[in-house]
């Protein structure tokens, strides 16, 4: 399959049918060919609306979930965004079309190295990928306008809440790893408090502590 007009039309139709309405997000997703981020056995399923296996036993998320999370994040052109869970790099690539600067971190060095090479090949110069345990955030670059977490902690990690600017938004799945989790949006209020909204049921790999072996 190639990322031709027909493939794009079908892909965007599937996203719209799942509730994606933000035209800026749809345009960003039309610009990024998901097949660049899925290699090996599952490459020919890159345009299907399903999660797929990637290296290190991880998964690239379902495109409609990527779209709905990005829509809920409400990214603006001047924003500095942090993503926890680089995985294939697909979500970061979408964010790079919408934000000024994207920092993305993963606990697997191999995933970060591969994603970095891909960002370079695709000329995505506003993404910085770092190998680190993202449950501590990225203190050196904090605070962030937006934070997106693509692995599920049981509760929103304190350091991530602390690294969100007042008025900032964080979107993340929360819940037990072996159960259905909830995607939530957290808004940091100007007075320092937090406002929580539940968005939809999802299923993500767990947010784990420490670095991965590969």
Q: Where do contacts with ligand SAH occur on this chain (CB under 6 A)? A: 58-61, 84-85, 87-88, 90-91, 105-108, 111, 133-135, 150-151, 205, 207-208, 212
Q: Which is nearer to ligand SAH, 189 or 211 (CB)?
A: 211
**Which of 17, 61, 96, 135 is flagged as catalytic?**
61
Q: Which is nearer to ligand SAH, 139 or 167 (CB)?
A: 139
Q: Which is nearer to ligand SAH, 158 or 167 (CB)?
A: 158
How far apart are CB 37 and ligand SAH at their closest, in Å? Answer: 6
- 88 catalytic? Reply is no
Q: Which is nearer to ligand SAH, 168 or 173 (CB)?
A: 173
How far apart are CB 133 and ligand SAH at their closest, in Å? Answer: 5
Q: Which is nearer to ligand SAH, 26 or 171 (CB)?
A: 171
Instruction: Count Cβ atoms below 10 Å from residue 41 Cβ, excluding itself.
Output: 9
How far apart are CB 56 and ligand SAH at their closest, in Å? Answer: 6
Cβ(160)–Cβ(84) below 8 Å: yes
How far apart are CB 104 and ligand SAH at their closest, in Å? Answer: 8
How far apart are CB 156 and ligand SAH at their closest, in Å? Answer: 13
Rounded CA gap, 112 and 1, in Å?
26
Cβ(103)–Cβ(124) below 8 Å: no
Catalytic amino acids? 61
């Amino acid at each position: 399959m190639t990322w031709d007009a027909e493939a794009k039309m079908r892909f965007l139709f599937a996203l719209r049918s799942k509730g994606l309405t933000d035209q800026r997000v749809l345009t960003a997703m039309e610009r990024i060919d998901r097949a660049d981020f899925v290699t090996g056995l599952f490459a020919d399923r890159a345009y299907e609306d399903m999660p797929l296996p990637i290296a290190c036993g991880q998964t690239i998320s379902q495109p409609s979930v990527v779209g709905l999370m990005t829509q809920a994040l409400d990214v603006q052109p001047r924003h500095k965004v942090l993503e926890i869970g680089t995985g294939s790099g697909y979500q970061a690539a979408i964010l790079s079309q919408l934000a000024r600067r994207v920092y993305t971190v993963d606990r697997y060095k191999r995933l970060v190295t591969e994603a970095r090479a891909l960002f370079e090949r695709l000329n995505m110069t506003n993404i910085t990928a770092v190998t680190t345990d993202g449950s501590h955030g990225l203190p050196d670059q904090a605070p962030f306008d937006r934070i997106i977490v693509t692995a599920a902690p049981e509760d929103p990690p304190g350091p991530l809440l602390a690294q969100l600017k007042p008025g900032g938004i964080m979107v993340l799945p929360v819940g037990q790893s072996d159960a259905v989790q909830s995607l939530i949006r957290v808004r940091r209020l100007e007075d320092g408090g937090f406002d929580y909204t539940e968005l939809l049921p999802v299923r993500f790999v767990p947010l784990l502590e420490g670095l991965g072996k590969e």
